[in-house]
Amino acid sequence: MLEWKWWCVSGTNMASDPVDSLLDAVAGGKSIIVDRTVLHSAHMPDLVLHRDEEQKAVAQVLIPILKGSRPSNLLVYGKPGTGKTLVVRKVISQIQTRAADSKFPIHLVYSNAKDETTLGGLLVSLGKQLGMDQRRLPVTGLAIGEVFKRILEEVDGRGLNVVFVIDEIDHLAQLVGRTGKDILYQLTSANTRLDRGTLTIVGISNNLSFKENLDPRVISRLADEEAVFTTYTTEQIKKILEERVAAAFAPGAVEEPALNLCAALSGSEHGDARRAIDLLRIAGEIAERAGGGGGTDGQAVAVGHVREASKKMEEDKEMTVLQSYPLHEKLLILAIMRSEASSTGEVYSHYKSLCRDAAAGPLTQRRVTQMLSEIEMSGIVSGRVASRGVHGRTKKYRLTVSPQTVKKAFAEDLTLQGLL
């Protein structure tokens, strides 16, 4: 109680209080980011740049629906952050607006396979967007086949013209593989079972290897038409960023060289607009924090903020990968950390001693060697083949991330706490 009183009456010190000066800066409207939502990945910009041809291609495939005939199925693919979701969502919302005056019912519905844990969940989400209620389509309790049958009955009964957009369809492909239920085949060939209405599938993916996991008949039906999105050039990314800067930041709050660096770091290697926008947002937050939230000239986003943001993004990515590993992979990473640049045999003996300390039964050397190659693929460790003279060759492993990052990532794992 006494403490509370002291805290409340210490008004004379207000100006130097860190929380107060932050709050003062916000209240004074001096924050350099004026509209944060524009920098959020789900934000739909008014202007879609450099994608006229792709927008036309997607629209052209879907246009027959406005005339009451069935569009072809469409597969949209390209690397991450190339505007696939943005373009498809924009086109379907524009067609839906036109469809409002149509004489026959048209529904274009969107769903993301990554947000669903089951095939049934995805179908229920699509069915709900057609207006099917809880009674017709309960969230649980129906077999997938039944859910699908009810959706078809709905389409048929009301003579609906439906486009199902399934974003990140590669995730659905994984579920299909696991359950053995070939829902994609049924979906892509649904029209043969409809007397009235139509059902078209638009699949979006940044991972083309999913094609290999599916029945070729499904692929050929799904990819009646294909739209390929290429990566953006550094110049194109710069223009996209300029639009965001104008909408999100206070005037003059981002220095030109900082913007160029954001574009270059995301453009040259990846051509990924999402990465560029994330980088800009994080750099903006760092600049804001460095300036205590103020927006005077000295605190504009500068090259140094972008470099720091890039480092942070890289570290965050590494942290996520590290934290996602099961216990034995983590122990193995610690073993490599302890035995810098060691052969498989040396790593294995460090691993066994860590297992003892963690009271975990060690896996066989054969299994551990296999795990090492898997971890190597993720880029967290690198292996270099070294000659051992007459004894042949061996692989030497070392960490590619800093030991600090590993320690930070594993800090919350109780089993490992004594070992870091």
Residue from 85, 125, 198, 231 binding Mg ion (CB under 5 A): 85
Collect all residues with Cβ–Cβ distance below 8 Å to 402 and sequence separation of at least 6: none
Burial class (CB in 10 A: 0-12, 13-18, 19+), 376: middle
Pair 78, 229: CB distance under 8 Å: yes
**Token code pair at residue 221:** 């039906």
Q: How far is the CB of 192 from Mg ion (least distance, A)?
A: 30
Pair 131, 168: CB distance under 8 Å: no
Tell me which stretch binds Mg ion (CB under 5 A): 7-15, 29-37, 85-93, 341-349. Answer: 85-93
Q: How far is the CB of 232 from Mg ion (least distance, A)?
A: 14
Q: How far is the CB of 203 from Mg ion (least distance, A)?
A: 12
**Token code pair at residue 312:** 């942070």
* Complex with ligand ATP: residue 111 or 206, whichever CB lies closer: 206
Q: How far is the CB of 30 from Mg ion (least distance, A)?
A: 35
Residue nearest to ligand ATP (CB): 83
Residue 86 binding result from Mg ion, ligand ATP, none, given CB thresholds of 5 to 8 Å by partner type: ligand ATP
127 near ligand ATP, rule: CB under 6 A? no
* Complex with ligand ATP: residue 154 or 278, whichever CB lies closer: 278
Counting residues that bind ligand ATP (by CB under 6 A) gives 18
Q: How far is the CB of 41 from ligand ATP (least distance, A)?
A: 5
Pair 234, 276: CB distance under 8 Å: no
31 near Mg ion, rule: CB under 5 A? no
Our measurement of the distance from residue 44's CA atom to the centroid of its chain's CA atoms, rounded to an integer in Å, reads 16
Residue from 10, 41, 117, 220 binding ligand ATP (CB under 6 A): 41
* Complex with ligand ATP: residue 48 or 95, whichever CB lies closer: 48
Distance, CA of 307 to CA of 183 (rounded, Å): 46
The residues in 65-104 that bind ligand ATP, with binding defined as CB under 6 A, are: 80-86
277 near ligand ATP, rule: CB under 6 A? yes
Site string for ligand ATP, 48-67 (x = CB under 6 A): xxxx----------------
* Complex with Mg ion: residue 149 or 274, whichever CB lies closer: 274
Closest of 71, 82, 146 to residue 107, by C-alpha: 71
Query: What's the Cα-to-Cα distance from 72 to each of 95, 169, 211, 276, rounded to whole Å?
Result: 16, 17, 18, 34
- Report the SS3 class of residue 249: strand
111 near ligand ATP, rule: CB under 6 A? no
Distance, CA of 13 to CA of 400 (rounded, Å): 47
Site string for ligand ATP, 223-252 (x = CB under 6 A): -----------------x------------
Residue 45 binding result from Mg ion, ligand ATP, none, given CB thresholds of 5 to 8 Å by partner type: ligand ATP
Tell me which stretch binds ligand ATP (CB under 6 A): 47-55, 284-292, 359-367, 378-386. Answer: 47-55
Residue 328 binding result from ligand ATP, Mg ion, none, given CB thresholds of 5 to 8 Å by partner type: none
| Planar angle of CA 75, 78, 80, nearest 5 degrees | 125
CA dihedral for 19, 24, 30, 35, sign (positive or negative): positive
Residue 33 binding result from ligand ATP, Mg ion, none, given CB thresholds of 5 to 8 Å by partner type: none
**Token code pair at residue 310:** 């890039």
Q: How far is the CB of 213 from Mg ion (least distance, A)?
A: 20
**Residue 244 has what DSSP assignment?**
H
* Complex with Mg ion: residue 85 or 161, whichever CB lies closer: 85
Distance, CA of 329 to CA of 140 (rounded, Å): 36
206 near ligand ATP, rule: CB under 6 A? yes
Our measurement of the distance from residue 257's CA atom to the centroid of its chain's CA atoms, rounded to an integer in Å, reads 28
Phi, psi at 134, each rounded to 5°: -55, -35
Burial class (CB in 10 A: 0-12, 13-18, 19+), 21: middle
Q: How far is the CB of 213 from ligand ATP (least distance, A)?
A: 18
Collect all residues with Cβ–Cβ distance below 8 Å to 378 and sequence separation of at least 6: 321
Q: How far is the CB of 59 from ligand ATP (least distance, A)?
A: 15
Q: Which residue in the block uniquely carries the two structure tokens 């990532």?
A: 409
Q: Which residues bind ligand ATP (CB under 6 A)?
A: 41, 45, 48-51, 80-86, 206, 240, 273-274, 277
Q: Which residues bind Mg ion (CB under 5 A)?
A: 85
